[in-house]
Amino acid sequence: MIKYILERIMIGIVTMILIITINFFLLQLLPGSPFNSEKLTTEQIEMLNEAYGFNDPLPVQYVRYLSKIVQGDFGISIINTNIPVADLIYGKLPHTIKVGGLALLIGAVIGLFLGSVAALNRNSFWDYFTITVAILGVSIPGFVFGAVLQLFFGLKLDLVPIIYKIGDPRSFILPAVALAYPIIASTARYMRTELVEIFNSDYILLARAKGLTRRAVVYKHAIRNALIPVITVLGPATIVLIGGSTVIERIFGIPGIGNLMVDGINTRDHFVILGCAIFYSLLFIVILLIIDVIYGVIDPRIRVSGGMKN
Amino acid sequence: MAKKILQVKNLQVSFETHGGEVQAVRGITFDLHEGETLAIVGESGSGKSVATKALMGIIASNGQIKKDSSILFEEKEITQLNEDELQKVRGKDIAMIFQDPMTSLNPVMTIGKQIMEGIIKHQGLNRSEARQKAIELIELVGIDQPDKRFKQYPHQFSGGMRQRIVIAIALSCNPKILIADEPTTALDVTIQAQILELIKDLQAKTGVAVIFITHDLGVVANVADRVAVMYAGKIVEIGTSDEVFYQPQHPYTWGLLASMPSLDTDDEALYSIPGSPPDLLNPPVGDAFALRSQYALKIDHEQEPPFFKITDTHYAATWLLHENAPKVTPPSVIQKLWAEGGK
Ligand SMILES: Nc1ncnc2c1ncn2[C@@H]1O[C@H](COP(=O)(O)OP(=O)(O)OP(=O)(O)O)[C@@H](O)[C@H]1O
Ligand SMILES: [Mg+2]
């Protein structure tokens, strides 16, 4: 297992280097410059470009950037008066993690629950409800859903704050639900399909033929097997979270990484964009690693093939 | 003759599907005696699996045992039991082995746990007693190092070993009836023989009655005391092994026997029954096999043949046995069998 994890970490590092490289060069294609203000004269812009090293040949800039990253320096924000990007991200991180983590939790728990209930009661009200949720989840964009939530639960019913407020846990609820929604949909759909298939499998028939109760058959045999493939959904779910967070953080005014990145893009704040992209990639890779480890723990077949001795 | 432990009368099972009602089992009647082996043979789709699953109440959720069906196990009418009562019969009185050992075990549960489950449920043993029993069972079905094997998962076992485990699970609570649904079909030939030996061996030790489903008539000759031949949801012929093998009466049984490779001693190519089984959404009237049979009489297309008694143990549902039926000459291979059987 240790060997397996180390292998994964190595792959992760290579992936990160690739991602940084690709992002670095792609960013050069972005039109405009951080020094776009009308108050600046051409000479001033030229000076600034020189000062930030943007006049050096690209390969030089690239190597400089890489060597700084190795030292933990992600460059500085040009717009936010030279605050280090790492500090900026670190400051915004708690908000993104709080809302994103809550969303992942809500998404997984409700999704698994709905999917299981639907599979256990095929063609019942809850089955159709779940199917509807799943379809809406992939067809309604997050910002529309977020706005509907604000309108209904915030304005009409006045149950929760519309806008994110630091230190008010109630204000996390709406953005977390809006973010969780597509995850609920995909998890529920996947869990339902998986369980329905498992109910038709031979080992479930054998479990029934042993005379086990329906409960025992469902909990001890079906659910555990269904969870294995469903865990893989959490990978794509993180992408959804990352993508969604940029939009949802805007709508709810959350001072998180998503907002930081969107602001960075709008102002061509070079190192902020790169820093956020690297952060998101790292997050994704770490989550994939965690999923792999969980996989190994619950699926005995992986444990052996992945090099873990029992 | 030994006591009857199972009496099945007019068992009918249907499935609700988008196309309509699939009449998978259309009124079958047979008895099972203590300690005997009854083989059920017939083409794919003839209803063998459905009929035997019905005996334990584990048919698919879109299926239903029709009223007027009766399954009498000892003193219990299985068709009248509720789910709770059925659970007490399953695994304890009637146990089942399935065709594909690669898929019949739960991949994420240890072998030991899977054996213990039934024991704990039916025998009221505590965990350590059940564990002891499970290890004994692993040994009983011929697997070495049972203590180590107890803790392993199915993927660490070969197909033949897994089938041994499934057999251990089936026999864990000393059932009175063991249903083996093509237990060797998915295994390679040498392993098949071992598994058959194991079943026969355990049957001799425990006296369990076995219903053995198979396509393979060679296996039937090897294991069965009696044989029931099923076609399109019905039993068309039933008798002792000798009777069905050496004095077959139903044209469908003739077809099955003629298409058995070992009987094809002539130079002619291996016989196969022409056509395909009827659609069970709209089963034909009369003898369902008439459409594929060169021996069909006019009445076969109009009226269902009753069972004609040949001996006390041998019955066949074909109008050819009616006293007014014309004498027909069965295929040459069958005539040869008749001659061997001394008819
Ligand atoms: N859940 C179901 N829904 C609809 N039809 C079904 C269902 N289960 C079985 N059937 C039908 O019932 C018929 C009998 O099936 P069964 O599995 O008993 O055949 P079998 O004799 O065991 O065949 P095989 O030798 O291939 O195992 C088939 O026509 C099959 O399509
Ligand atoms: Mg079958």
Residues of A in contact with B91 (CB under 8 A): 209-212
Q: Provide the CATH number for the domain around residue A122.
A: 1.10.3720.10
Atom of ligand 1 nearest to the CA of B61: 1
Distance from CA of A233 to the nearest CA of B (A): 19
Task: Examine the pLDDT at A39 and tell me if it is beyond 80.
Answer: no
* In contact, B105 and B154? CB cutoff 8 Å: yes
Q: Is B109 on the interface with A (CB under 8 A)?
A: yes
In this structure, are residues B72 and B258 in contact, taking their beta carbons and an 8 Å threshold? no
* B95 near A CB under 8 A: yes
At residue A145, the pLDDT reads 87
- What mean pLDDT, rounded, does chain A reach? 86
Q: Is the CB of residue B60 below 6 angstroms from any atom belonging to ligand 1?
A: yes
A119 versus A143: the higher-pLDDT residue is A119
Give domain status of residue A62, yes or no: no
Rounded Cα distance between B90 and A251, Å, is: 58
**Cα B124 to Cα A187: distance, rounded to the nearest angstrom:** 39
Q: How many Å lie between the centroid of ligand 2 and the Cα of residue B48? A: 6
> How far does chain B reach from its first CA to its final CA, in angstroms?
24
**What are the structure tokens assigned to B342, written together?**
């001394």
Which pLDDT tens digit goes with each residue over B19-54?
A: 999 999 999 999 999 999 999 999 999 999 999 999
- Report which DSSP code applies to B35: T
| Per-residue pLDDT band at A284 (split at 50, 70, 90) | confident
Do the Cβ atoms of A210 and B83 come within 8 Å?
no
The distance of B281 to chain A (nearest Cα, Å) reads 22
* Domain extent listing, chain B: 4-224, 247-341
In a domain, A229, yes or no: yes
A149-182 burial code (b ≥16 CB/10 A, e <16): bbeebbeeeeebbbebeeeeeebbbbbbbbbbbb
Phi, psi angle pair for B90, to nearest 5°:
-60, 130
- Report the C-alpha gap between A192 and A115 in whole angstroms: 4
Rounded CA gap, A198 and B153, in Å? 18
List, for residues A130-179, the tens digit of each pLDDT value: 999 999 888 888 788 888 988 888 888 888 888 888 878 888 888 999 99
Is A212 close to B100, i.e. CB distance below 8 A?
Answer: no
pLDDT of A291 above 90? no
Over residues A254-278, mean pLDDT: 90
A60, A286, B109 from A16: Cα distances, Å: 20, 11, 37
Q: What is the pTM of this model?
A: 0.84
B4-224: CATH topology is: Rossmann fold (3.40.50)
Size of interface A-B (CB pairs under 8 A): 78
The model's confidence at residue A304, banded by pLDDT at 50, 70 and 90, is low
**Pair A138, A186: CB distance under 8 Å:** yes
The residue segments making up the domain with residue A211 are 92-278
Does residue B47 have its Cβ closer than 6 Å to ligand 1? yes
CB atoms within 10 A of CB B123: 14
Report residue B215's pLDDT band, with 50, 70 and 90 as the boundaries: confident
Distance (Å) of CA B155 to CA A304, B100, B111, B186:
10, 14, 10, 16
Nearest Cα neighbor of B99 from B43, B168, B22, B179 is: B179
Give a yes or no: residue A67 inside a domain: no
- Its ipTM equals 0.90
* Number of independent structural domains in chain A: 1
Contact B103 A220 (CB under 8 A): no
Has residue A283 been placed in a domain? no
Res A36 pLDDT > 80: no
3-state helix, strand, coil in chain A (%, to 5): 75, 0, 25
